[in-house]
Amino acid sequence: MKLQFYKYQGAGNDFVLFDNRDNAINHHDPALIQRICDRRFGVGGDGAMFLENEEGYDFKMVYYNADGQPSSMCGNGGRCIVAFAKHLQVIDTETNFLAVDGPHYAKISEEGDWVSLQMIDVNEVSRDIDAYLLNTGSPHYVQLTNGLAEKDVYTEGSAIRNNDTYRAEGININFVEPMTEGYFVRTFERGVEDETYACGTGVTAVALAMAKHHNQTGIISTPIKVLGGNLNIRFNYDGESYTDIFLEGPAKQVFKGEIEL
């Protein structure tokens, strides 16, 4: 059958989206998702998302990684599906929706291309030698580095993600370099099993970890540069817990079309 799809990107993190409010698409099929996300034989994307109805919420976000497996929370995916919901006239400029890690609130610009997404609160940050470990909806490993523009993120990130500690459950690997304002971040994502142009939960994890690293507290706003553009994370940190965390950045429709499945 032919299905209409929409291609969205948020700072270069790209996704294939479907309106599944009628539940016509049975998406519990890894091979189907893999085909959709294949950049040569399908539409191509870091993941696929299905917007569905959910009682008590504006909609539900169902997300799959490009490997066909259900994923933990995707921050840039969350921002893109908010833009998609506005395009479908499901929402106007504010929304409360349900994702795999629970409810999320978001605001979107009148133009529909800038989304501020509230992330889950974070109460625990641990260490693996010199790296920070935390879960911002997905598990993340944050490591400060130098010469990030030249770093082999695929090789080094894959080695950490697949070591004895993280192989079974997987973890996303973020390499961080300070800039004059904010940080430059490159991420190796589990599920995609490659470097992506951006990772929303990853840059969120970086901002929180760096606040802890520099003993910053209070209301903090952290600009982040990624390969696909610029994002901003604002939050409140009291020295123990991170609250009112918002991931902010662009979310744009690239094109729409039909795919035979």
80 is catalytic: no
Check if the beta carbon of residue 200 is closer than 8 Å to that of residue 231: yes
Please check whether residues 218 and 168 belong to one and the same domain: yes
Q: Judge whether residue 261 has pLDDT over 90.
A: no
Please check whether residues 233 and 256 belong to one and the same domain: no
Residue type, 23: N
Q: Where are the alpha helices (H) located in 45-187, listed in sequence order?
A: 75-87, 153-161
| pLDDT for res 1 | 78
Q: Pairing relation of β-strands 126-128 and 131-135?
A: antiparallel
Please check whether residues 135 and 244 belong to one and the same domain: yes
Please check whether residues 41 and 68 belong to one and the same domain: yes
Please check whether residues 236 and 132 belong to one and the same domain: yes
199 is catalytic: yes
| pLDDT for res 122 | 98
Please check whether residues 155 and 240 belong to one and the same domain: yes
The per-residue pLDDT for range 180-218, each reduced to its tens digit, is 999 999 999 999 999 999 999 999 999 999 999 999 999
Query: Of these residues, 199, 206, 208, 224, which one is catalytic?
Result: 199
Per-residue pLDDT averaged across 73-94, rounded?
Answer: 97
**How many domains does one find in the chain?**
2
CATH classification at residue 25: 3.10.310.10
Please check whether residues 172 and 108 belong to one and the same domain: no
Query: Of these residues, 66, 74, 90, 120, which one is catalytic?
Result: 74
Please check whether residues 178 and 92 belong to one and the same domain: no
What's the domain range around 203?
A: 126-248
Per-residue pLDDT averaged across 169-178, rounded?
Answer: 97
User: Residue 159's CB: how many other CB atoms inside 10 A?
Assistant: 12
Read off the pTM: 0.94
Bridge partner list, 71 = none
